[in-house]
């Protein structure tokens, strides 16, 4: 199954305790599509400005990402500036320049409207709704969001949640959306809005997946070196949804396996700035780390002898 992702392609300026990247390639759709491209065909819908360099386009094409839906408008590309302290779970936003993103109206090429899988990356929920009106009968629809949209456009976001299968947000956003400090209760409230599954990203503590009657947990991969967590959530979503699109297995077991592949992809992303680690990544490394994840979480059942 092919994937259409609608989100942002951006420049990031990021500082962590381990270094700094200035005007590096970023954006939710960029990280998602790069990660998902290891598993499935991906078509990208986003907007860039006149200043977006050809080398970045060539990289996306080298991953065989379809760029028919990438608009180029007069002006500058969306630019985010952020900083991380030693708590790499939380970014401090220093500056956000929306630039051409202010005029972005996602228009899917006709061939994209029949997509099997749609991922609505972190953009205005009103734009996410416009995209949902353009697709025909996708087998799977998932979305991401952030605290800015939760606080500024909660009604539109809740309408999106009502119309998708899987919602992917972080722990703080789940609590913010519901006003419920207990994560389990917050998850139940979000699922009650209409989605089938809620995936809660917890940074270095892993990920939780909720349905109306089940909970599944996967750890984060223990790493000695973490350089830049920017885009880790989008990379996770790309691995998760990309693997689902590859297998077409939407059973509980299939979705749980895909979730671990998402965690694998996120673990590679944080090992360098921007998409540099993903650019060097080989599929054999993904399989090797997946097997390490299995060993990390495998243990013996209770003895039947009492």
Mean of all residue pLDDT scores within the chain: 94
What are the chain's domains?
3-297 (3.40.1190.20)
- Residue 227: strand, helix, or coil: coil
H or E segment and range at residue 82: strand 79-84
Q: Closest Cα partner for 154 from 183, 198, 124?
A: 124
Once rounded to an integer, what is the mean pLDDT over residues 77-86? 92
Handedness of CA 151, 158, 230, 201 (dihedral sign): positive
Q: How far is CA 148 from CA 45, 93, 151, in A?
A: 21, 11, 5
pLDDT-derived band at 304, boundaries 50, 70, 90: low
List pLDDT tens digits, range 185-194: 999 999 999 9
Alpha-carbon distance of 199 to 215, in angstroms, equals: 10
Tokens of 103: 């005029």
Of 95, 234, 272, 301, the active-site residue reads 234
User: Can you tell me the distance from the alpha carbon of 63 to that of 59, in angstroms, rounded to the nearest whole number?
Assistant: 7
Check residue 14 and give its pLDDT.
93
For β-strands 79-84 and 91-97, DSSP reports them as antiparallel
Token pair 């030693």 is at which residue? 86
Active site residue 95: no
Backbone angles phi, psi at 66, to 5 degrees: -75, 125
Q: What φ, ψ does residue 52 adopt, rounded to 5°?
A: -75, 120
Q: Could you tell me what percent of the chain has a pLDDT over 70?
A: 99
Given a cut of 60, whether residue 255 has pLDDT beyond it is yes
Per-residue pLDDT for 264 more than 80? yes
CA distances from 153 to 27, 119, 128, 143 (A): 21, 19, 12, 15
- The confidence score (pLDDT) of residue 305 equals 60
Contact 29, 60 (CB under 8 A): no
Share of the chain above pLDDT 90, in %: 85
- The secondary structure of residue 301, as a DSSP letter, is P
> Which residue in the block uniquely carries the two structure tokens 């305790």?
17
Arithmetic mean of pLDDT, 234-258? 97
How many helices, marked H, and strands, marked E, lie in the chain? Answer: 11, 13
pLDDT of residue 66: 98
Q: Are strands 117-120 and 140-144 parallel, antiparallel or unpaired?
A: parallel
Helix ranges restricted to H, 164-281: 171-178, 183-192, 232-247, 252-269, 276-280
**Nearest C-alpha neighbor of 78 from the set 56, 109, 108:** 56
Pick 1 or 209 by higher pLDDT: 209
Considering Cα of 27, then 186, then 243, then 241, what sign does the dihedral take?
A: negative
Q: Which residues contact 57 (CB under 8 A, 6 or more apart)?
A: 67, 70
Indicate if the pLDDT at residue 54 is higher than 60: yes
At residue 92, the pLDDT reads: 85
pTM: 0.95
Structural contact between residues 234 and 170, judged by C-beta atoms closer than 8 angstroms? no
List alpha helices for 198-231, DSSP H: none
Q: Mean of the pLDDT values across residues 259-268?
A: 96
Token pair 């400090």 is found at 181
Looking at residue 23, what is its pLDDT? 95
Residue 128, pLDDT score: 97
Q: In the numeric block, which tokens belong to residue 172?
A: 């703080």
| Backbone φ, ψ for residue 82 (5° rounding) | -145, 170
Q: What is the pLDDT of residues 97-156, one digit of tens each?
A: 999 999 999 999 999 999 999 999 999 999 999 999 999 999 999 999 988 899 999 999
Q: What is the pLDDT of residue 148?
A: 87
């Amino acid at each position: 199954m092919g994937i259409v992702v609608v989100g942002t392609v951006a420049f990031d300026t990021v500082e962590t305790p381990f270094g700094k990247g200035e005007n590096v390639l970023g954006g939710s759709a960029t990280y998602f599509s790069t990660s998902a491209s290891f598993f499935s065909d991906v078509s990208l819908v986003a907007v860039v400005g006149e200043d977006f360099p050809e080398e970045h386009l060539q990289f996306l094409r080298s991953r065989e990402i379809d760029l028919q839906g990438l608009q180029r408008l007069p002006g500058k590309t969306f630019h985010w500036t952020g900083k991380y302290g030693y708590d790499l779970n939380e970014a401090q936003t220093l500056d956000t320049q929306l630039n051409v993103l202010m005029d972005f109206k996602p228009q899917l090429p006709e061939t994209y409207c029949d997509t099997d899988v749609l991922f609505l990356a972190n953009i205005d929920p009103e734009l996410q709704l416009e995209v949902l009106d353009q697709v025909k009968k996708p087998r799977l629809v998932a979305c991401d969001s952030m605290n800015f949209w939760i606080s500024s456009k909660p009604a539109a976001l809740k309408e999106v949640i009502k119309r998708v299968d899987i919602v992917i947000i972080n722990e703080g956003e789940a609590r913010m959306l519901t006003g419920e400090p207990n994560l389990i209760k917050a998850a139940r409230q979000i699922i009650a809005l209409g989605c089938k599954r809620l995936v809660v990203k917890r940074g270095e503590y892993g990920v939780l997946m909720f349905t109306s009657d089940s909970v599944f947990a996967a750890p984060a991969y223990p790493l000695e070196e973490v350089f830049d967590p920017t885009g880790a959530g989008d990379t996770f979503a790309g691995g998760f949804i990309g693997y689902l699109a590859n297998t077409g297995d939407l059973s509980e077991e299939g979705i749980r396996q895909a979730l671990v592949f998402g965690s694998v992809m996120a673990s590679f992303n944080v090992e360098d700035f921007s998409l540099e680690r993903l650019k060097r990544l080989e599929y054999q490394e993904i399989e090797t780390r997946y097997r390490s994840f299995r060993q990390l979480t495998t243990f013996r059942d209770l003895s039947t002898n009492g």
